[in-house]
Amino acid sequence: MRTMKYCSRCGATVSLRVPADDTRERWICDRCDTIHYQNPLIVVGCVATKDDRVLLCKRAIEPRYGHWTVPAGFMELGESLAEGAARETLEEACAEIEIGHMFASIDVIDAGQVHVFFIGRLLGGYGAGDESLETALFHKDEIPWEDLAFRSGKFALEKYFEDRGRNNGVHTHEIRHIRY
Per-residue confidence (pLDDT) for residue 180, from 0 to 100: 64
pLDDT band at 2 (very low <50, low <70, confident <90, very high): confident
List the domain boundaries for the chain: 1-38, 41-175
Q: Which residues contact 88 (CB under 8 A, 6 or more apart)?
A: 44, 45, 46, 71, 72, 73
pLDDT band at 47 (very low <50, low <70, confident <90, very high): very high
Superfamily of domain 41-175: Nucleoside Triphosphate Pyrophosphohydrolase (3.90.79.10)
d(CA 69, CA 42) in angstroms, rounded, equals: 17
Backbone angles phi, psi at 78, to 5 degrees: 85, 10
Q: How many CB atoms lie within 10 A of CB 40?
A: 12
Percent of the chain surpassing pLDDT 70:
98
Q: Which residues contact 105 (CB under 8 A, 6 or more apart)?
A: 114, 115, 116, 117, 170, 171, 172, 173
User: What are the pLDDT digits (tens) for 71-119?
Assistant: 999 999 999 999 999 999 999 999 999 999 999 999 999 999 999 999 9
pLDDT of 174 higher than 70? yes
Q: How many CB atoms lie within 10 A of CB 39?
A: 7
Per-residue confidence (pLDDT) for residue 176, from 0 to 100: 86
Per-residue confidence (pLDDT) for residue 51, from 0 to 100: 93
Same fold, 1-38 and 41-175: no
Per-residue confidence (pLDDT) for residue 23, from 0 to 100: 95
Query: Using an 8 Å Cβ cutoff, are 115 and 108 in contact?
Result: yes
**Looking at domain 1-38, does it have CATH number 2.40.37.10?**
no
Per-residue confidence (pLDDT) for residue 64, from 0 to 100: 97
User: What are the pLDDT digits (tens) for 131-171?
Assistant: 999 999 999 999 999 999 999 999 999 999 999 867 778 98
